[in-house]
């Protein structure tokens, strides 16, 4: 810390100290005025005024405790409401997928492999991006952990059929994506991005998502 910084810190401390001193002086002067004013009426009157102040202080303390309890009750109710909503959402999802979903440990474990989670380009078998189609024989080529026709759920609630697994050149970063034909028209593409088509579906039924977004595989 140089001399200018030191002076700045000292200046701020001085301002804080000065402000606190002004507040102290204000309360001291008010206290003196209070005592002098009530002493004129006699010692008993002064004691009565002090008793009134103590009574008001106790009343404020009780009100403060009551407000704290009310806030605590409201927080508990909000927490219970949030837990109930979460349980409702989870039960709805379980109802939607319980009859047709299974955790394919072999495929899901492959999805979590370091090869597919790490950042950076990795040549992928079946990918139609320029880098993968021009890959040399000596380059290590990964096999896609999913194949066309697999049914998956992404982001916990969106389901669809895998139509493509690979890189998407127009997105300018090398993560592995899956192209989905969605069960409902909640997508944003027809299977093409930019000038390149990766698969063909009706507009709105297509979606590209990072591979790691897959939650489970539908039987």
- Over residues 39-66, the pLDDT tens digits come to 666 666 667 777 777 778 878 888 877 7
Q: In this predicted model, what pLDDT tens digit does every residue of 109-141 receive, in sequence order?
A: 555 554 444 555 667 777 777 777 777 665 667
Report the 3 state secondary structure along the chain. Answer: CCHHHHHHHHHHHHHHHHHHHHHHHHHHHHHHHHHHHHHCCCHHHHHHHHHHHHHHHHHHHHHHHHHHHHHHHHHHHHHHHHHHHHHHHHHHHHHHHCCCEECCHHHHHHHCCHHHHCCCCCCECCCCCHHHHCCCCCCCCECCCCCCCCEEEECCCEEEEEEEEECCHHHCCCCCEEEEEECCCCCCECCEECCEECCCCCCCCEEEEEHHHEEEEEC
* pLDDT > 50? residue 101: no
Single pTM value for the model: 0.47
Average pLDDT of the residues of the chain:
71
> Per-residue confidence at 103, pLDDT binned at 50, 70, 90?
very low
């Amino acid at each position: 810390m140089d001399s200018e910084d030191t002076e700045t810190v000292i200046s701020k401390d001085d301002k804080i100290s000065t402000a606190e001193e002004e507040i102290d002086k204000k309360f001291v002067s008010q206290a003196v005025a209070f005592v002098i004013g009530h002493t004129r009426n006699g010692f008993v009157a002064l004691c009565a005024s002090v008793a009134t102040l103590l009574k008001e202080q106790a009343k404020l303390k009780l009100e403060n405790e009551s407000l704290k309890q009310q806030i605590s009750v409201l927080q508990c109710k909000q927490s219970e409401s949030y837990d109930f909503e979460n349980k409702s959402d989870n039960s709805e999802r379980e109802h939607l997928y319980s009859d047709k979903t299974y955790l394919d440990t072999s495929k899901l474990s492959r999805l979590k492999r370091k090869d597919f989670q790490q950042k950076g380009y990795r040549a992928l078998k079946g990918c139609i991006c320029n880098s993968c189609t021009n890959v040399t024989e000596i380059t290590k080529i990964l096999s896609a952990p999913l194949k066309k026709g697999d049914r998956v759920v992404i982001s916990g609630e969106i389901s669809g059929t895998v139509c493509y697994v690979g890189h998407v050149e127009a997105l300018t970063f090398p993560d592995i994506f899956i192209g989905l034909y969605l069960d409902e028209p909640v997508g944003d593409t027809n299977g093409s991005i930019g000038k390149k088509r990766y698969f063909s579906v009706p507009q709105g039924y297509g979606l590209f998502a990072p591979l790691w977004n897959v939650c489970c595989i539908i039987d």
